[in-house]
Structures are given as C-alpha cells and as structure tokens.
Structure 1
Amino acid sequence: MAHVFAFWESRAFYDSFMARSHDRLAAAQSGTFKDAQVKLFEYRFDVKTGFEPRFTDADLIRVALCRVHEQRVEHFTLMQEKVWNPAMAGSPGMIRGMFGEAPAHEFMVLSMWRSAAEHGKYRTERVERLALRAQTEADIAALTGDIVEMEPSWTV
C-alpha cells in the first residue's frame, strides 16, 4: 500500500491541474496501481506549528480519517484545536501537522513525527486520557487511518 499526499497552493491551481493535466497523467499511469482512493481536504488549521509540506525531516506520518456525526462537527473541531493539538505539540518527537475538512463531515488529521519510537511514546501515554477528555467517541461515526513510514526516494 502506498499513500500519496499532494498539497496545492490554492484551489484555483488544483482546479486548473484537474482540468488540463490530470487525465493525461492518469492515462500514462494506467495499470500501475489498483484500488486508488482519492479525497480532497480543505486546510482548516495547523497542528503544532506552521505547516509546510516538507517531508525530509520526518520518518513517520500518522494520518487519521474521521467521519464525524453531523451534530458533533463543531465540538469535534473545537476539541482538535483545544485538546489534541496542545497534546501533540507537547510531544518532543512531533514535528508538525495539519487538520483538514472534506464534504460530508469528514476530517483528516495528519501529523509528522521524527520516529516511530517518538510517536509510540505519545500514543501509549496519552491517547486514552485525551479521548475521554475530548469526548471523541461521541463525536466520531467512523475512524480509519494509517501510520506511514517515509520512503525518502519517493519524496519530491
């Protein structure tokens, strides 16, 4: 499995690419992969510090995809900002990240870590306590995600 993250300077640049170049590039890649899933998220806010799409200093990325109950979207977003962000920012191995939103009450939390060991310390020490404090179980209808080990030769 491969995860490909693309970051666009603006929605206008993304729309231009989709209208002018996407189909030609997709046709050239035909047969090189199967079961692609694509989601477009709008940037909402940083996790920790000013996000920049630079991956050379990270060894691991944690991506969480959350479908949130419609009536809990405001609470979920507030808890990301007031509970989860400060906790991740306080973890020494966490570099930076971003919080994004897609249609149909879907959200992505992407966090970049120096190492799997540093991410593991954060996860085991804090996640249960933070989830209770943020009432995450009441907010989330579905949660998927992955831990992505970086392959430096794939970084552009």
Structure 2
Amino acid sequence: MLVKWIRCTVTDPRGFEQGQRRWAGLLGEPGFRGQGGGWSRGRPSVAHVFAFWESRSFYDSFMARAHDRLAAAQAGTFKDMQAKLFEHRFDVRTGFEPRFGDADVVRVAHSRVHSERAEHFALMQEKIWNPAMAGSPGMLRAMFGEAPGDEFLVLSMWQSAAERGKYRPERIERLSLRAQTDADVVALAGDVVQLEPSWTV
C-alpha cells in the first residue's frame, strides 16, 4: 500500500474546504483505498491530507489522468504545499485499514534517518515502539511507512486527543533511550491533526 502525505498552509480556509469536498471524485478510481485529513492542532492554518493507494502503479495512473481536474477546485487557496509518498512497511497493530470514521485525531511522525542506521531504526520501531503504542488506550491503529532517502513515517489514529495525551513525555523519553533514537535520527518532525469528517473519502 502507498501513502501520500500532503501538508500545506491554507490562505483561504473556506475555499480550501469547499475544494476538499471535491475529492469525493476519488471514489471509484482503480486502486484508491481511502483519504482523510484535517487541521494541525498546533498551527491552525496548516492542513494535512493522507491518501492511500493499493500500489504505486494505480497512483501514477490516477496522477496522469484525473488528478489535475480534481485539484483545480483548490487552486489559489493554499501555499507551501509539500507532498511525500511512503510505501507501507508494517502495521503497528494488525490489519491497518485507511478508515477515518472512528478516529478523532491522527498523529504523524516523520523521521529522516542516518542511512547506516535505517534498518536499526525500523527494527526498534517494530520491537520497542510498536508494543508501546499498541498498548496505549485510545490508539486505534497505526502504520509504519518508508520512502527513498531513509525517510520514515509513523501514522497513528486515535479515538481522542485526550487519549493521545496519555502517551506521556517521560514514557516517550524512556522508550527513546531504549531504542537509541538519537543515534538513528537526523531530523524528526511531527504533528497532531484534528480530523475533519467532511474531508473523508
């Protein structure tokens, strides 16, 4: 499965939201698995969108055909758009599905890793971080994805921001020491996204 993560700064919120509803046109596209998104809780003008495709070939076919027509509705409503593609590598809990209806927030963590430490980073995600996240109350499901250039994405869906808040900083620090995260990671960025139900396709 392929994940596309789009992040942008919105300059015309009303126009952007109207345009976002036009993405319902994705339904019926071959290989499309689901899309959702919302607003950053820390930076309210920043929007995140997550789109899921069965494979790169289905995604490339869509980009060559229908993408520009759907995207036209949002032209001029945002700036500083960044889009990245990640290949699904493994689930944090079993059976990750790109469903957004039961989730309130999405936590996104994006890491750039030293190339010689990339396999260690992925192994620590599997052995240390996954069990900790899977045991967190309110964490519905999550996935770990990889992009060329030793970049990784952890996308987790939570029942509520309050549940996400129980994932305590001191606990994260302890896990980080065990996983030797500082030795692996060049740069780490993250956000908590308040999902907008009307953006879900």
Distance 2:58 2:198 in 1: 26
Distance 1:93 1:28 in 2: 35
Distance 1:53 1:20 in 2: 23
Over residues 135-154 of structure 1, what are the superposed CA-to-partner deviations in whole Å (9 max), with x where a residue is unaligned? 00110000011001112222
Q: TM-score, normalised by structure 2?
A: 0.74
Over residues 4-50 of structure 1, what are the superposed CA-to-partner deviations in whole Å (9 max), with x where a residue is unaligned? 00000222210100111223333443212211100000010001221
Aligned to 1:93: 138
Q: TM-score, normalised by structure 1?
A: 0.95
Q: Pick from 153, 167, 192: which aligns with 1:108? A: 153
Q: Is 2:163 aligned against 1:83?
A: no
Aligned to 2:59: 14
Distance 1:76 1:15 in 2: 29
User: What is the correspondence of 1:68-79 to structure 2 with a 5 Å cutoff?
Assistant: 68-79=113-124
Task: Name the SS for the 1:109 alignment partner.
Answer: strand
- Give the CA deviation at 1:104: 0.6
Aligned to 2:4: none
Aligned residue pairs total 156
Structure 1 window deviating more from structure 2 (75-84 vs 13-22): it is 13-22
Distance 1:123 1:139 in 2: 22
Unaligned 5+ residue runs, structure 2?
1-45
Over residues 100-143 of structure 1, what are the superposed CA-to-partner deviations in whole Å (9 max), with x where a residue is unaligned? 00111000000111111111111335201100000001100000
Q: Is 2:171 aligned against 1:126?
A: yes
Distance 1:88 1:82 in 2: 11
Unaligned 5+ residue runs, structure 1?
none
Identity %: 78
Task: Name the SS for the 1:12 alignment partner.
Answer: helix
Aligned to 1:32: 77
Distance 1:35 1:24, change over 3 A: same
Q: Pick from 84, 91, 105: which aligns with 1:60? A: 105
Task: Name the SS for the 1:132 alignment partner.
Answer: helix
Calculate the aligned-residue CA RMSD, in Å.
1.2
Task: Name the SS for the 2:95 alignment partner.
Answer: coil
Over residues 43-92 of structure 1, what are the superposed CA-to-partner deviations in whole Å (9 max), with x where a residue is unaligned? 10001221100011111110000000111001000000000000000112
* One-letter amino acid of the counterpart of residue 96, structure 1: R
Distance 1:95 1:59, change over 3 A: same
Task: Name the SS for the 2:69 alignment partner.
Answer: helix
Task: Name the SS for the 2:61 alignment partner.
Answer: helix
* One-letter amino acid of the counterpart of residue 199, structure 2: W
